[in-house]
Amino acid sequence: MADDDPVRPKPDTERADGRPGNGSDGPQHPADARDSADARDSDEVEKLRAELVAANDRALRERADLENVKKRVTREKSEALRFANEGLLRELLPVIDNLNRALEHARSSRDVDPIIQGVELVLRSLVDVLARHGVKIVEARGTRFDPNVHEAIGHVESEHPPNTVIDEHQRGYLLHDRLLRPALVTVGKGRPGVERPDNDD
Protein backbone atom coordinates (compact mmCIF):
# COMPACT_ATOMS: atom_id res chain seq x y z
CA MET A 1 0.00 0.00 0.00
CA ALA A 2 1.17 3.46 -0.75
CA ASP A 3 0.54 4.51 2.80
CA ASP A 4 2.95 1.88 4.01
CA ASP A 5 5.89 3.26 1.95
CA PRO A 6 8.53 4.81 4.13
CA VAL A 7 8.62 8.57 3.96
CA ARG A 8 11.74 9.74 2.15
CA PRO A 9 13.31 12.94 3.34
CA LYS A 10 13.02 15.77 0.89
CA PRO A 11 16.24 17.16 -0.54
CA ASP A 12 17.58 20.09 1.40
CA THR A 13 16.69 22.50 -1.30
CA GLU A 14 15.27 25.18 0.88
CA ARG A 15 16.35 26.78 4.12
CA ALA A 16 14.25 28.34 6.78
CA ASP A 17 15.09 31.79 5.45
CA GLY A 18 13.85 30.81 2.01
CA ARG A 19 17.30 30.73 0.35
CA PRO A 20 18.32 27.65 -1.57
CA GLY A 21 19.96 25.07 0.60
CA ASN A 22 22.35 23.65 -1.98
CA GLY A 23 25.38 24.56 0.18
CA SER A 24 26.60 27.31 -2.08
CA ASP A 25 27.25 29.62 0.88
CA GLY A 26 28.66 26.95 3.11
CA PRO A 27 32.33 26.23 3.73
CA GLN A 28 34.54 26.91 0.64
CA HIS A 29 35.85 23.93 -1.18
CA PRO A 30 39.58 23.28 -0.45
CA ALA A 31 40.45 23.52 -4.15
CA ASP A 32 38.85 26.97 -4.41
CA ALA A 33 40.75 28.23 -1.36
CA ARG A 34 44.01 26.90 -2.81
CA ASP A 35 43.40 28.66 -6.12
CA SER A 36 42.70 31.94 -4.33
CA ALA A 37 45.89 31.64 -2.24
CA ASP A 38 47.92 30.78 -5.36
CA ALA A 39 46.56 33.86 -7.11
CA ARG A 40 47.54 36.07 -4.18
CA ASP A 41 51.01 34.48 -4.03
CA SER A 42 51.44 34.96 -7.77
CA ASP A 43 50.53 38.64 -7.48
CA GLU A 44 52.98 39.08 -4.61
CA VAL A 45 55.76 37.32 -6.55
CA GLU A 46 55.16 39.54 -9.57
CA LYS A 47 55.24 42.62 -7.35
CA LEU A 48 58.51 41.53 -5.73
CA ARG A 49 59.98 40.67 -9.13
CA ALA A 50 59.12 44.14 -10.43
CA GLU A 51 60.68 45.76 -7.34
CA LEU A 52 63.82 43.66 -7.80
CA VAL A 53 64.13 44.68 -11.44
CA ALA A 54 63.72 48.34 -10.47
CA ALA A 55 66.32 48.00 -7.70
CA ASN A 56 68.77 46.35 -10.11
CA ASP A 57 68.22 49.16 -12.61
CA ARG A 58 68.91 51.76 -9.94
CA ALA A 59 72.04 49.93 -8.82
CA LEU A 60 73.32 49.72 -12.39
CA ARG A 61 72.67 53.42 -12.97
CA GLU A 62 74.37 54.38 -9.71
CA ARG A 63 77.35 52.18 -10.56
CA ALA A 64 77.60 53.74 -14.01
CA ASP A 65 77.41 57.22 -12.45
CA LEU A 66 80.16 56.30 -9.99
CA GLU A 67 82.37 55.00 -12.79
CA ASN A 68 81.82 58.22 -14.72
CA VAL A 69 82.76 60.30 -11.68
CA LYS A 70 85.92 58.24 -11.13
CA LYS A 71 86.90 58.65 -14.78
CA ARG A 72 86.29 62.38 -14.65
CA VAL A 73 88.34 62.77 -11.44
CA THR A 74 91.18 60.72 -12.95
CA ARG A 75 91.10 62.82 -16.12
CA GLU A 76 91.05 66.10 -14.18
CA LYS A 77 93.91 64.91 -11.95
CA SER A 78 95.94 63.93 -15.00
CA GLU A 79 95.30 67.33 -16.57
CA ALA A 80 96.23 69.11 -13.34
CA LEU A 81 99.52 67.22 -13.12
CA ARG A 82 100.24 67.76 -16.79
CA PHE A 83 99.82 71.52 -16.51
CA ALA A 84 100.98 71.95 -12.91
CA ASN A 85 104.01 74.02 -13.99
CA GLU A 86 102.07 76.24 -16.37
CA GLY A 87 102.38 79.32 -14.15
CA LEU A 88 106.11 78.84 -13.62
CA LEU A 89 106.79 78.30 -17.29
CA ARG A 90 104.77 81.35 -18.27
CA GLU A 91 106.88 83.47 -15.92
CA LEU A 92 110.08 82.01 -17.37
CA LEU A 93 109.23 83.08 -20.92
CA PRO A 94 110.27 86.73 -20.37
CA VAL A 95 113.56 85.48 -18.94
CA ILE A 96 114.19 83.54 -22.15
CA ASP A 97 113.29 86.66 -24.13
CA ASN A 98 115.89 88.65 -22.19
CA LEU A 99 118.52 85.97 -22.82
CA ASN A 100 117.81 86.12 -26.54
CA ARG A 101 118.17 89.91 -26.48
CA ALA A 102 121.48 89.58 -24.61
CA LEU A 103 122.76 87.16 -27.25
CA GLU A 104 121.70 89.46 -30.08
CA HIS A 105 123.46 92.36 -28.38
CA ALA A 106 126.59 90.27 -27.84
CA ARG A 107 126.76 89.40 -31.55
CA SER A 108 126.54 93.05 -32.57
CA SER A 109 128.81 94.60 -29.92
CA ARG A 110 132.43 94.27 -28.90
CA ASP A 111 131.82 95.86 -25.52
CA VAL A 112 131.73 93.17 -22.84
CA ASP A 113 130.40 95.21 -19.93
CA PRO A 114 126.84 95.62 -21.26
CA ILE A 115 126.72 91.89 -21.94
CA ILE A 116 127.77 91.11 -18.38
CA GLN A 117 125.21 93.53 -17.04
CA GLY A 118 122.51 91.99 -19.22
CA VAL A 119 123.32 88.47 -18.06
CA GLU A 120 123.31 89.60 -14.43
CA LEU A 121 119.92 91.23 -14.96
CA VAL A 122 118.51 88.06 -16.51
CA LEU A 123 119.93 85.95 -13.69
CA ARG A 124 118.34 88.19 -11.06
CA SER A 125 114.98 88.02 -12.81
CA LEU A 126 115.23 84.21 -13.01
CA VAL A 127 116.05 83.93 -9.31
CA ASP A 128 113.07 86.18 -8.52
CA VAL A 129 110.74 83.99 -10.57
CA LEU A 130 111.95 80.87 -8.77
CA ALA A 131 111.59 82.57 -5.39
CA ARG A 132 107.94 83.38 -6.14
CA HIS A 133 107.39 79.65 -6.68
CA GLY A 134 109.03 78.64 -3.39
CA VAL A 135 112.58 77.98 -4.63
CA LYS A 136 115.28 79.28 -2.27
CA ILE A 137 119.05 79.32 -2.61
CA VAL A 138 121.01 77.30 -0.04
CA GLU A 139 123.38 79.54 1.90
CA ALA A 140 126.84 78.11 1.63
CA ARG A 141 130.03 80.19 1.51
CA GLY A 142 131.04 81.40 4.97
CA THR A 143 128.44 79.28 6.80
CA ARG A 144 128.97 76.21 8.93
CA PHE A 145 128.91 72.95 6.97
CA ASP A 146 125.47 71.33 7.15
CA PRO A 147 125.26 67.80 5.71
CA ASN A 148 121.51 68.28 5.26
CA VAL A 149 122.01 70.91 2.55
CA HIS A 150 125.74 70.79 1.72
CA GLU A 151 127.82 68.14 0.00
CA ALA A 152 131.55 68.37 0.67
CA ILE A 153 133.76 67.57 -2.32
CA GLY A 154 137.01 68.63 -0.65
CA HIS A 155 138.69 69.84 2.54
CA VAL A 156 141.38 72.50 2.79
CA GLU A 157 143.37 74.11 5.55
CA SER A 158 141.92 77.45 6.45
CA GLU A 159 142.17 80.25 8.97
CA HIS A 160 138.42 79.99 9.42
CA PRO A 161 136.94 77.84 12.19
CA PRO A 162 136.84 74.11 11.32
CA ASN A 163 133.85 72.94 9.29
CA THR A 164 133.35 76.35 7.71
CA VAL A 165 132.36 76.31 4.05
CA ILE A 166 135.27 77.94 2.26
CA ASP A 167 134.11 77.73 -1.35
CA GLU A 168 130.96 76.90 -3.30
CA HIS A 169 131.31 74.98 -6.58
CA GLN A 170 127.64 74.50 -7.39
CA ARG A 171 124.71 76.34 -5.85
CA GLY A 172 122.12 74.34 -3.93
CA TYR A 173 118.37 74.95 -3.90
CA LEU A 174 115.38 74.28 -1.65
CA LEU A 175 111.75 73.97 -2.70
CA HIS A 176 110.01 75.37 0.38
CA ASP A 177 111.58 73.09 3.03
CA ARG A 178 112.53 70.22 0.71
CA LEU A 179 116.02 69.94 -0.72
CA LEU A 180 116.09 70.07 -4.50
CA ARG A 181 119.87 69.90 -4.81
CA PRO A 182 122.66 70.19 -2.24
CA ALA A 183 125.35 72.81 -2.61
CA LEU A 184 128.72 71.36 -3.63
CA VAL A 185 131.29 72.93 -1.32
CA THR A 186 134.84 72.87 -0.04
CA VAL A 187 135.09 72.74 3.74
CA GLY A 188 137.86 74.20 5.90
CA LYS A 189 139.57 71.92 8.39
CA GLY A 190 141.74 74.42 10.22
CA ARG A 191 145.53 74.73 10.16
CA PRO A 192 147.78 72.08 11.76
CA GLY A 193 148.67 72.82 15.37
CA VAL A 194 145.63 74.98 15.92
CA GLU A 195 143.56 73.60 18.78
CA ARG A 196 139.94 72.95 17.90
CA PRO A 197 137.27 73.90 20.38
CA ASP A 198 135.90 70.99 22.39
CA ASN A 199 132.37 71.93 21.44
CA ASP A 200 130.69 74.31 19.10
CA ASP A 201 128.33 75.94 21.60
- What is the pLDDT, as a whole number, of residue 101? 85
* pLDDT classification of 11: cutoffs 50, 70, 90: low
Domain at 135-193, CATH class: mainly beta
Q: Average pLDDT for residues 87-97, to the nearest whole number?
A: 88
- What is the pLDDT, as a whole number, of residue 86? 86
Q: What are phi and psi of 24, to 5 degrees?
A: -70, -25
- What is the pLDDT, as a whole number, of residue 111? 80
**Ramachandran region, residue 190 (left: φ > 0; alpha: ψ -120 to 50; beta: rest):** left
177 DSSP 8-state letter: T
pTM as predicted: 0.56
pLDDT tens sequence across 42-72: 888 888 889 999 999 999 999 999 999 999 9
- What is the pLDDT, as a whole number, of residue 83? 82
Domain boundaries, the chain: 135-193
The SS3 of residue 186 is: strand
CB atoms < 10 A from the CB of 125, how many?
16
